[in-house]
Amino acid sequence: MSVDESELGTEEAHRALVEVIAQRHSAVQARITDAGGSLERTRVLAVTKTHGIEVARAAIDVGLVDLGENYGQEIERKAPMLDRPEARWHMIGGLQRNKVKKIARYVALWQTVDRIELVSEIAKRAPGAAILIQVNTTQEAQKSGANPDKLPVLLEAAHDSALDVRGLMTIGPTDGSDPAPGFALLRSLADNWKLPEVSMGMTADLERAVQEGSTMIRVGTALFGARPAAGQAP
Ligand SMILES: *Cc1c(COP(=O)(O)O)cnc(C)c1O
């Protein structure tokens, strides 16, 4: 079998990308342990949103099998292209009800369930699916996520719909204030409801999240560099 030059170029580019991402992954792991965390306790979700499929492929080959996407149409486009059966796609962006059906077959974990209509739609399109309830822990009005006082109702609905509630997810404050109180709140809510998964922490605030007991940090920039603007991805 002959390998033409463009394929060779692609293979070389892939190897170079794997090397860069592996180094950055090591740096992220060092940040976790330097913050007093452990790599067994806190998993790294690689946020590939707006990056091309080659980035997702390289991430998998570094061992980052959990991939996060914000836009339903991006999961729809990328998931069938990714020739890596070990990949696990996580929906981490604001979710519209009418997008659930199209991506249901690809999503391993729905992280942004924050209202009853999403509970029913996911239960209908992906029976028994694993979900996280997204909680707005910072009381910022414009932010998605359920109010903490809505949690009991959502958990009950998810339970009644036979969804597998793995835990809770939150996004730190967007105004630059200390993320620790919101993270501590999410951790205490998860403990209270005996939920194992606590998804919190991103590139800028992962140390605080690790210190407050994050089981999954969602990291894009620290692994892949600055993102191309949404819609411009190849
Ligand atoms: C984009 C995004 C991330 C990753 O952000 P970085 O700052 O690039 O690490 C994590 N979580 C959510 C919900 C996001 O939208």
129-182 pLDDT per residue, tens: 999 999 999 988 778 899 999 999 999 999 999 999 999 999 999 888 999 999
- Name residues contacting ligand 1 (CB within 6 A): 47, 49, 70, 92-93, 171, 202-204, 218-222
Pocket test for ligand 1, best of 32, 45, 47 (most atoms within 8 A of CB): 47
The pLDDT value given to residue 102: 97
The Cα 75–Cα 102 span in angstroms is 9
Centre of ligand 1 to C-alpha 8, Å, is 33
- Unique residue bearing structure tokens 């692609």: 10
The pTM for the full model equals 0.94
Report the nearest atom of ligand 1 relative to the CA of 219: 9
Report the nearest atom of ligand 1 relative to the CA of 169: 13
Centre of ligand 1 to C-alpha 4, Å, is 37
The pLDDT value given to residue 139: 83
Q: Quickly name the fold that domain 11-224 has.
A: TIM Barrel (3.20.20)
The pLDDT value given to residue 141: 77
**DSSP secondary structure string, 80-143?**
GG---TT-EEEE-S---GGGHHHHTTTEEEEEEE-SHHHHHHHHHHSTT-EEEEEB--S--TTS
Report the nearest atom of ligand 1 relative to the CA of 221: 8
List pLDDT tens digits, range 52-70.
Answer: 999 999 999 999 999 999 9
Of 3-7, 32-36, 182-186, least confident by mean pLDDT is 3-7
List pLDDT tens digits, range 74-126.
Answer: 999 999 999 999 999 999 999 999 999 999 999 999 999 999 999 999 999 99
List pLDDT tens digits, range 193-234.
Answer: 999 999 999 999 999 999 999 999 999 999 999 997 755 544
The pLDDT value given to residue 51: 95
List pLDDT tens digits, range 26-38.
Answer: 999 999 999 999 9
Cα end-to-end distance, the chain, whole Å: 29
The pLDDT value given to residue 110: 98
The pLDDT value given to residue 193: 98
What ranges in the chain are assigned the alpha helix state H? Answer: 5-34, 53-62, 72-78, 100-103, 116-125, 151-160, 180-192, 206-211, 221-224
Paired tokens of 128: 């028994």
Report the nearest atom of ligand 1 relative to the CA of 45: 10
Pocket test for ligand 1, best of 92, 186, 207, 217 (most atoms within 8 A of CB): 92
Domain ranges of the chain: 11-224
Helical (H) or strand (E) element with 201: none
Centre of ligand 1 to C-alpha 178, Å, is 17
